[in-house]
Each structure stands twice: as C-alpha cells, then as structure tokens.
Amino acid sequence: MIERKILQEEAQAMAGQLVAWRRDFHRHPELGFMEVRTGGVIADYLVSLGYTVQRHVGKTGVVGLWAGDRPGPTVMLRFDIDALPVQEENETEYASQNPGVMHACGHDAHTAIGLGVATLIARHRQELAGQVKLVFQPNEEGHGGSNGAPAMIADGVLENPAPEVAFGLHVWNSLEVGYAIVQPGAMMASTGIFTIQVQGQGGHGAIPQHTVDPIVVASQIVLALQTVISRNVAPMQPAVLTVGQIEAGSAFNIIPPTAKMMGTVRTFDSEVQALITGRMEGIVTKVAEAFGATAKLEFSEITPPLVNAETPTALVRQIAEEILGKNAIVPSEPSMGGEDMAFYLQKVPGCFFFLGSRNEAKGLVYGHHHPRFDIDEGALPLGVAILATAALRYGESIH
Ligand SMILES: [Zn+2]
Ligand SMILES: [Zn+2]
C-alpha cells in the first residue's frame, strides 16, 4: 500500500514550484487548440522526467505515459490546459500578458497540478503497478465550436494502452479551499446547442397583410417551447431549455423575411434529451406551419452528461477524506454546467471531482469565467496529493 502521508508531504514540499508553474501559465494563457507554448512547456518537462511523450494529440494536446515496475492496469489522469477569451481585470504580478485572453476558469491550476502529479509518479516508480497516462487536453471550453476531448479520443488517447479508469478535477471557486465535492452519479449536465431558422415573407411594416411576419412566428415558437420543460418533462427530472439569442430585422418599418434563434438544452439523461428535442421539432415546425411560415430546427450535443462511477469515486472520496479531513467532503447538487471530461467518462469509468479554491478572507471569491477570477493556490498541493495517491493506489486497491 502506497503511503499517502509521504505523497502528501512531497506535494506540500513542492508548493513553491506548483505556484511558479501556475503563475507562468497564468501569464501566458492560450485559447483552445492554440496551446502551443503551454503544450511545449508540458511536453519538455515530461520528457525531462523520462516519460514517453506524444505531442500534438487532438491538435495541441500532450500525453505522457509512465510504466511502473510491476504489471497492472492503466490509470488515466486528465488535465485541461486552455484559457478563455476574457480580458483580465486583476492587477496581480502574474496577470495575463496576452490581451483579451485569460485563464479565467482555473485550467492553469489544473496544468500545474498535472506537472506536480507527473513529478510524484516518476519518483515512485517501484511502488506503481501498471501504467499512468497523463492527458493534458486542449480546448475544454469549446473555443471555435468543437471540444478538445473528442479530438483527443479521435487521435487514440483511449488506446495503447487503454485506461481502465480515469480521474480528473476542477478547482472550484464556489467552495472554500480545503474542501472538496466527490460524488457518484450524474454531476454535470449534457450541453446541447440549437438553431431555429424561421422563413416568412418580408414586406412593408405598414402592410402586414401581404407578409408572413417571422418575428411574430418566432415569438410564438419561443412561448410554445416553454411548455416542453413544464408540461412534457417529468417534474423530478432536471432540465433546461433556454433561447438565448434572437436575430431578425433591419429597420423599424420593415417586416423581415427571416428570423433566427439560438439556445441551449441541458439534461442529465439522454432519454430526457431525446424527449426534449423531439417535442421541439414538433413545436417548431407545426407552430410555423400554423402561421403560414416554415421553420427548421438544428440540434447538436456539445457534451454528454458527466457521470461518476461508484467504485472509482469511492476510492477518490476515501483519499480526499484522508488528505482534507472527513468533514471536508461536502455534498452538492449536480451542476447544469457542462464539462467535456464527460466524453472520457462515457467510455471509461472514473471520477471527476471539485476541489475548493475560494478564499473569502483573501477576496478570492469571483466565479469561473469572471475577469477577476483568481484562486487560492493552497489548492494546488492538495490536488496533487489526491490525484497522485489515487493513481498509485488504484492498482493496489482494485487488483
Ligand atoms: Zn470554464
Ligand atoms: Zn473549466
């Protein structure tokens, strides 16, 4: 059995290095699929430790493989490395030097934690049964419309060797540093995006009888869509349908020929999602038809729901309790937000958990994606200790 206490002490001892890494990535944020510098820093460091390294997996991702001295399963650890199109408003010495781009979600912390875990795994080769596959993933945020996780899967990240389990974490600014949320089951929603095109017939704003007004039709569709969640989805099933964007018209006295709407659907269950999109299809086409217009619905799933498996989650919870204390693991409602770690967890059982990074006393309270987002860096060694212990203990506890 790997000594958790030793790993914890070693993670704590590298706190300064973890902060230095995190601040370096924070100063040099890169948008999704453009993480060239970030990927280079990661790959060079993994090579220096002796990892077998693949660059350019899923465009700008990096994979590091480490084999232990004894045979055993392959454990995958995933860290996302991309930043967001946000102009940073913090005035720290490590603020973003890349205008309009910022690590506003904490993926700089994830990347630093990944390098810390890599260090500890390499140091404990003789205690490792099996392989550890470190997956540094680009574009979790879906910049440009597609995500990093499916790109890495398409490039074979779940093969040669195939991981038996996958672990990952997110620093979490809704939760004080020193606490964690580690729960089995559905933790984050599926994210779907839809577009509705309404085709009417334009004309003069004062002569509506000779037109089919797509703005009126779009308005009817928006209202009718509100019944999908309230009247079709079972009351105990969480689901959201939001029309977030309406585009139509060019002047106050013109009835435009078309209207376009975009929005999002969130669920925790693929059957509920199918029910919603089926009802949307019927409402969109039939409401338009009733008003003499036509309308077309396009729906695509960005991320599936994120579901944690029982056994790996119990292992992470046990380790988190040992490291943070029994009362530091707090219950939480699942989030309607999405996370592309879900793509791996669809294929490989695993656990994605949330590590507190808020510090009320220090004013580190801004939410993810906010221009003043910043974290308590005390979370870094805690994340390293939990994930390194999980990776090293998995082979021991399951086999
Ligand atoms: Zn984010
Ligand atoms: Zn994130």
Dist CA 80 CA 262 (whole Å): 27
Which chain residues have CB less than 5 Å from ligand 2, an ion?
Answer: 105
pLDDT top residue among 234 and 399: 234
| Other Cβ atoms closer than 10 A to 19 | 17
3-state helix, strand, coil in the chain (%, to 5): 40, 30, 30
Whether the per-residue pLDDT at 120 is higher than 90: the answer is yes
**Cβ neighbours for 347, distance < 8 A, ≥ 6 positions apart:** 153, 158
* Cα of 141 from ligand 1 centre, angstroms: 6
Domain architecture of the chain: domains with CATH = 4-186+306-398 (3.40.630.10), 190-303 (3.30.70.360)
From the number of C-beta atoms within 10 Å of its C-beta (0-12, 13-18, 19+), residue 92 rates as: exposed
In angstroms, the Cα distances linking 34 to 54, 101, 140, 144, 373 are: 17, 12, 12, 11, 22
Residue type, 277: T
In terms of DSSP bridges, do strands 165-176 and 70-80 run parallel, antiparallel, or are they unpaired?
parallel
Note the pLDDT tens digit of each residue in 287-346: 999 999 999 999 999 999 999 999 999 999 999 999 999 999 999 999 998 999 999 999
* Cα of 57 from ligand 1 centre, angstroms: 21
Q: Taking the alpha carbons of 310, 312, 314, 320 in that order, is the dihedral positive or negative?
A: negative
Nearest ligand (C-alpha, residue 170): 2
* Cα of 171 from ligand 2 centre, angstroms: 8
User: What pTM does this model have?
Assistant: 0.90
* Cα of 6 from ligand 1 centre, angstroms: 32
Q: Which residues are catalytic?
A: 82, 140
The mean pLDDT of 351-366, rounded to a whole number, is: 98
Nearest ligand (C-alpha, residue 368): 1
The mean pLDDT of 269-295, rounded to a whole number, is: 97
* Cα of 23 from ligand 2 centre, angstroms: 17
**pLDDT category of residue 69 using cuts at 50, 70 and 90:** confident
